[in-house]
């Protein structure tokens, strides 16, 4: 992979050009870097930074390059962030104001669509390559679906912003031409496709008469396979947020609400990852942060971190923040966490409720919840899942080795 030093003023070759169907405002342009004073800022410092800075004092005529994966959904999500950043500067034609560029690339998760996510291992399938470019200064902000971001970030990187969350639930999409309205309507033995072991585990528990198959493809391709006359799927389970952002909300048959199906940690939320020492980028990020979403997602991520699980393990959550009237930032946080065995036969669930007034207290709720889940059986479930995955990965490696020898 070709690398670019921070001093070079061009987009790295490793980052693909914007697809031709995007508007000109979203195409990569020459990158301009500014000198930034070094500092060390983590998430607990962000609230103070937000109140101390304004967009005008945080930046001048610098050009910020926003990077993300090259998928259609990732580019749409990048433009959502881009529009919010540009809205901070109505007089964007002023030569003294900041400029924004975009750049896109494929990640390991994009390149391997033949194997179930559960078996790929690792917790940075969708982020690692982008973070390399960020740390080297080739880009300034990386836009992620927060559910894909590991709970422990590389040294030198941090989450600068979490935007207001889209509805985090999963949705049922049935084959065109069929009249089924719910999972209960599907005939016994019907095949339901999804790329998530979390969904499979929970739905096996609630719908033991249905069959579930992995479908690790882009949403457009998944829907094509669903609708194919000779396709095996009666329905798919997909994240509602992705469907809505892609303009496919009309394909949603029904939303699957808890307790039928608990969503993934941080599902529906977009995050902006930045360098720790980039105070200008951080000041901008805090202006587009939705603090209620941030608190809920940080609580969920703290729970996931304590459970040592990634986005490909059957950990489900649901959170709610009831904001107190007359108080600037405080409210009652209700967080539910679930861990379910892949067979659906063993399930651990617990709910905590606490008053919180900052991000640290929100994270403490998530950590406390995880400890309770561990004490009530979650660790055994996750250990069994990891052992099963390691065994299957080893078997696949041996099969590949044998095939190579006989070829």
Q: What is the pLDDT of residues 226-252, one digit of tens each?
A: 999 999 999 999 999 999 999 999 999
Whether the per-residue pLDDT at 355 is higher than 70: the answer is: yes
Residue recorded with tokens 């994270």: 363
pLDDT: which is higher, 357 or 126: 357
The partner residues of 347 in beta bridges, in order of sequence, read 340
Whether the per-residue pLDDT at 112 is higher than 90: the answer is: no
Top-ranked range on mean pLDDT: pick from 84-88, 131-135, 362-366 = 362-366
pLDDT: which is higher, 7 or 298: 298
Domain ranges of the chain: 1-162+270-289, 170-256, 290-407
| Model pLDDT, residue 388 | 81
Compute how many other C-beta atoms are within 10 angstroms of the C-beta atom of residue 144: 23
- Percent of the chain predicted with pLDDT > 70: 74
> What's the rounded mean pLDDT across residues 131-144?
95
| Model pLDDT, residue 195 | 86
| Model pLDDT, residue 111 | 53
pLDDT bin (cut points 50, 70, 90) of residue 279 is very high
Give the right CATH number for 170-256 from 1.10.3720.10, 3.40.190.10, 3.90.1010.10, 3.40.640.10. Answer: 3.40.190.10
Evaluate whether 65 touches 12 at the Cβ level (below 8 Å): no
Class of domain 1-162+270-289: alpha beta
Identical fold between 170-256 and 290-407: no
> What's the rounded mean pLDDT across residues 106-114?
58
Classify domain 290-407 at the CATH superfamily level. Answer: Porphobilinogen deaminase, C-terminal domain (3.30.160.40)
- Percent of the chain predicted with pLDDT > 90: 64
Whether the per-residue pLDDT at 10 is higher than 50: the answer is: no
| Model pLDDT, residue 97 | 78
> If you average pLDDT over every residue of the chain, what do you get?
82
d(C-alpha 34, C-alpha 49), whole Å = 19
d(C-alpha 212, C-alpha 203), whole Å = 9
For the annotated catalytic residues, the residue numbers are 148
pLDDT bin (cut points 50, 70, 90) of residue 131 is very high
Q: What is the pLDDT of residues 285-329, one digit of tens each?
A: 999 999 999 999 999 999 999 997 655 678 999 999 999 998 889
Please report, for residues 64, 128, 129, 333, 358, the alpha-carbon distance to residue 321 in angstroms, rounded to integers and kept in the order given.
33, 31, 34, 5, 12
Of 291, 1, 225, the residue nearest 132 (C-alpha): 1
| Model pLDDT, residue 407 | 56
Phi and psi of 231, rounded to 5°?
A: -75, 155
> What's the rounded mean pLDDT across residues 74-86?
96
Q: What is the pLDDT of residues 33-59, one digit of tens each?
A: 333 333 333 443 444 333 334 444 455
On the 0-12 / 13-18 / 19+ scale of CB atoms within 10 A, 178 is middle
């Amino acid at each position: 992979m070709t690398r670019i030093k921070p001093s070079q003023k061009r987009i790295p070759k490793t980052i693909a050009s914007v697809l031709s169907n995007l508007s000109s405002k979203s195409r990569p342009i020459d990158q301009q870097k500014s000198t930034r004073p070094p500092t060390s800022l983590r998430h607990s410092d962000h609230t103070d930074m937000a109140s101390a800075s304004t967009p005008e004092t945080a930046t001048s005529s610098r050009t910020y390059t926003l990077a993300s994966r090259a998928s259609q959904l990732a580019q749409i999500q990048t433009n959502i962030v881009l529009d919010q950043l540009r809205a901070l500067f109505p007089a964007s034609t002023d030569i003294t104001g900041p400029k924004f560029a975009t750049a896109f690339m494929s990640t390991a998760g994009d390149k391997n669509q033949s194997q179930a996510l559960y078996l790929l291992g690792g917790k940075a399938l969708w982020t690692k390559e982008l973070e390399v470019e960020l740390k080297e200064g080739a880009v300034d902000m990386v836009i992620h679906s927060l559910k894909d971001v590991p709970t422990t970030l590389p040294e030198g990187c941090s989450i600068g912003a979490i935007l207001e969350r889209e509805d985090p639930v999963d949705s049922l999409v049935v084959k065109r031409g069929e009249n089924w309205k719910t999972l209960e309507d599907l005939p016994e033995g019907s095949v339901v496709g999804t790329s998530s072991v979390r969904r499979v585990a929970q739905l096996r528990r609630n719908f033991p008469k249905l069959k579930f198959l992995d479908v690790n493809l882009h949403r457009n391709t998944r829907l094509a396979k669903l609708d194919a006359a000779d396709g095996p799927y009666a329905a798919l389970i997909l994240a509602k947020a992705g469907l809505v952002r892609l303009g496919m909300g009309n394909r949603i048959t029904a939303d699957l609400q808890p307790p039928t199906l608990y969503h993934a940690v941080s599902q529906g939320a977009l995050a902006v990852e930045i360098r720790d020492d980039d105070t200008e980028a951080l000041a901008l990020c805090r202006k587009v942060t939705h603090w209620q979403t941030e608190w809920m997602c940080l609580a969920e991520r703290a729970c996931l971190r304590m459970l040592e699980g990634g986005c490909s393990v059957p950990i489900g959550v649901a959170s709610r923040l009831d904001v107190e009237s007359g108080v600037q930032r405080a409210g009652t946080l209700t967080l539910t966490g679930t861990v379910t065995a892949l067979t659906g036969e063993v399930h651990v669930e617990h709910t905590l409720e606490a008053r919180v007034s900052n991000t640290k207290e929100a994270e403490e709720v998530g950590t406390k919840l995880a400890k309770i889940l561990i004490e009530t059986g979650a660790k055994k479930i996750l250990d069994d899942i990891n052992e099963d995955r390691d065994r299957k990965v080893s078997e696949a490696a041996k099969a590949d080795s044998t095939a190579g020898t006989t070829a």
